[in-house]
Structure 1
Amino acid sequence: MKKLKLQNDSYKILLSDFEQWLDILGYNDRTVYYTPIFMREFFHWLETHDIQQLDQITIDTVKAYYKYLGQRSNQRTGAGLSKAYLNKHQNALRKFREYLKKHGAKTFKIHLRLEKKESAIKDILTQSEIKQLFAVTSYSSKYQRTRLRDKAILVILYSCGLRRKEAVSLDIGDILFDAGRVFVRQGKNYKERYVPINKHNIRILEDYIYEARPMYTGSHATEALFINKYGNRMHGQDMGRRLQHLLTLVDDEILREKHITPHCLRHSIATHLLQQGMKIEDIQQFLGHSSLKSTQIYTHLLESL
């Protein structure tokens, strides 16, 4: 749907400004990328129904659009849109409504109920599966620099529980070796926090920073912790691709078939810490959650495991 062409200039401007707003607020890369795509489809639908201004949008307009989504097929699979995908469209509308409200513009009402989602348990890896991912980094590339970088990425995403955007935004100076902390300056909504890191994982980061990173072209010209072969800061999608590559190397067929994202590693470490008896309030601080409710989901997951 990202290829849908908009004709209404005001919709084009709104969409561009909305995307910038999401980025400024510190939403993760996937949210910044996909939420405007969902809104593009909404704007395109409005145009096809001759709704050229936001003040023409009513409750019935939103319901009619949502009915259309419920009936259209997934372009990739040919099947209907999943409940999770429909919820993403709803959340996009709500975020756009929030954007309008923050800018003092007239908003529209969204009387939609979120679809009941499938359990998030499938996103949780066991500690054994995590160990398998770490193990394959010893032969994940013919280049030592890439192998050490893969291992360091796992440390940041799993052991430190960082969001993808937080991970790619790290600079070398954010790794506080003496203090045993990682300084997260690009947290969600730009909230800063310090994340503890043990000596074993510190050594992994030291191996990457002092042995592998200098082997990348142009490494001296940037402070970015994770860089690509061209010496540029890695993007979130780059990390996602490396993670998918690691999955292809494990011997566990069940693990290979799982759709694992960087955020799944964050879910996993939170669950494992809870299993080990860490207080829910400490996990909240570790993850950088503003609300304890966001962290309490792991208590429900743990009961179902």
Structure 2
Amino acid sequence: MKKLILQNASYRYLEQSFKEWLDIQGYAPSTVYNLPNHIRELLHYLESKDINNIKELNIKHIERYYHQLKERGNQRRGGGLSNAHLNKHIQSLRKFTSYLRKVGRLEIPEITLKDEETVNKIIYLTEEEIRLLFKATYQEWEKKLNVSPEVSEAIRARDRAMLAVFYGCGLRRNEGVMLDVCDINFDRSVLHVRKGKNYKERFVPISKTNLKYLTEYIYDHRGELTKGVKTDAVFVAYTTAKRMQGQSLFVRLKNLQYQTGDLDLIEKEIGLHTLRHSIATHFLQAGMKLESISRFLGHSSLESTQIYTHVAGIPIERAQPFNNIKEYESIRLSEDEF
């Protein structure tokens, strides 16, 4: 729960320290972002029970906290928390107690909470939710960052380019992070992924709308972020003029998610890979051949792509032919739609 306020300064420090530890250990950006937020709820619970020193924490406290968590309602949608969400909290508790042990803050045994039963499913965004993310890139909220209007506009242009790359081109997180300006062929509307998964390269078509976003960012705004520093990276941090990493791009996506103001969208636990899942699902729903989607995503086998037939609710044998992959422009979002 992001809005919970911890009164205990040592708990606030502990939450930040836990986040930094996860980052140093090499956990995924989504894990580094989400787990400390879940642990904040545990620390807030401890405060409510007048337990103000982490050395007082024991397994009984954790079990009572988790029981209360299972009883509390979902503040956004009503009803209780989903089993999938409860499992996120269990994962957070396991990692947090492991952190406490490994850094020598507390000798506490491993927790014995069992995962709740869930049905594994891919999270993806609807086309309307994608529109909302694009809309959010036009909101002038960067004034809080105390940057010039030019840098503010450049950040928003970079956000649109980010959506164009991870949603419009379906790139994996590291593929987008390592993308260089020279990898974009603006004349041919093609993006070159030089080192995909298992070091495989591929060429990805870029729609007219997404090419427009990339062109505007690269030629009109990126210079405001590089500040004259020579760098090949497409995505550049305005604070350092260096290549943005996955965590920074993830945070930008989360900012857009909350900027939409849409409660259903805000409730979803999304990351950069969610955008990739979304484009694949939308392709299938629009009738593109499974083989074409597989090539577009850079999958090594068709089996990896078949998961989207279940997500989209379309049997493989009923998927309609979509012969030319470049025809995907016809189902992309145009600027006029928002």
TM (norm. structure 2) is 0.57
Contact 2:124 2:277 (C-alpha < 8 Å) held by counterparts? yes
CA distance in 1: counterparts of 2:192 and 2:61, whole angstroms: 44
Please say if 1:226 is aligned against 2:235.
Answer: yes
Letter aligned with residue 267 of structure 2: E
Contact 2:285 2:314 (C-alpha < 8 Å) held by counterparts? no
Cα deviation, 1:54-83, whole Å, max 9, x if unaligned, reads xxxxxxxxxxxxxxxxx99999x8589839
Q: How far has the Cα of 1:284 moved from its partner?
A: 0.4
CA distance in 2: counterparts of 1:257 and 1:192, whole angstroms: 35
Match of 2:87 among 77, 82, 98: 82
Q: How far has the Cα of 1:186 moved from its partner?
A: 2.3
Contact 1:159 1:269 (C-alpha < 8 Å) held by counterparts? yes
Alignment of 1:239-258 (within 5 A): 239-258=249-268
Map of 1:153 onto structure 2: 162
Note the residue ranges of structure 2 that are not aligned, 5 or more in a row: 1-17, 33-58, 68-82, 95-115, 144-151, 316-338
Q: How far has the Cα of 1:219 moved from its partner?
A: 5.0
CA distance in 2: counterparts of 1:83 and 1:250, whole angstroms: 24
Q: How high is the sequence identity, in percent, across the aligned residues?
A: 45
Contact 1:213 1:219 (C-alpha < 8 Å) held by counterparts? no
Alignment of 1:1-305 (within 5 A): 30=28, 82=87, 118-121=119-122, 123-139=123-139, 140-142=141-143, 143-218=152-227, 220-229=229-238, 230-303=240-313
Q: How far has the Cα of 1:178 moved from its partner?
A: 0.9
SS at match of 1:82: helix
Contact 2:226 2:236 (C-alpha < 8 Å) held by counterparts? no
Calculate the aligned-residue CA RMSD, in Å: 3.4
Letter aligned with residue 277 of structure 1: G
TM (norm. structure 1) is 0.63
Q: How far has the Cα of 1:220 moved from its partner?
A: 4.0
SS at match of 1:271: helix
| Equivalences, count | 218
From the superposition, tell whether residues 246 and 219 of structure 1 become closer, same or farther in structure 2 (CA, over 3 Å).
farther
Contact 1:275 1:302 (C-alpha < 8 Å) held by counterparts? yes
CA distance in 1: counterparts of 2:285 and 2:117, whole angstroms: 26
CA distance in 1: counterparts of 2:175 and 2:62, whole angstroms: 31
Note the residue ranges of structure 1 that are not aligned, 5 or more in a row: 5-15, 20-28, 35-70, 90-114
CA distance in 2: counterparts of 1:289 and 1:30, whole angstroms: 21
SS at match of 2:300: coil
Letter aligned with residue 138 of structure 1: Y
CA distance in 2: counterparts of 1:204 and 1:126, whole angstroms: 21
SS at match of 2:142: coil
SS at match of 1:161: coil
From the superposition, tell whether residues 245 and 296 of structure 1 become closer, same or farther in structure 2 (CA, over 3 Å).
same
Q: How far has the Cα of 1:157 moved from its partner?
A: 0.6
CA distance in 1: counterparts of 2:156 and 2:283, whole angstroms: 27
Q: How far has the Cα of 1:190 moved from its partner?
A: 1.1
Cα deviation, 1:125-153, whole Å, max 9, x if unaligned, reads 10000000001101153400100000100
Contact 2:184 2:191 (C-alpha < 8 Å) held by counterparts? yes
Contact 1:145 1:208 (C-alpha < 8 Å) held by counterparts? yes
Letter aligned with residue 205 of structure 1: L
Letter aligned with residue 247 of structure 2: Q
From the superposition, tell whether residues 283 and 254 of structure 1 become closer, same or farther in structure 2 (CA, over 3 Å).
same
CA distance in 2: counterparts of 1:294 and 1:247, whole angstroms: 27
CA distance in 2: counterparts of 1:85 and 1:282, whole angstroms: 39
Q: How far has the Cα of 1:165 moved from its partner?
A: 0.5
Q: How far has the Cα of 1:117 moved from its partner?
A: 5.0
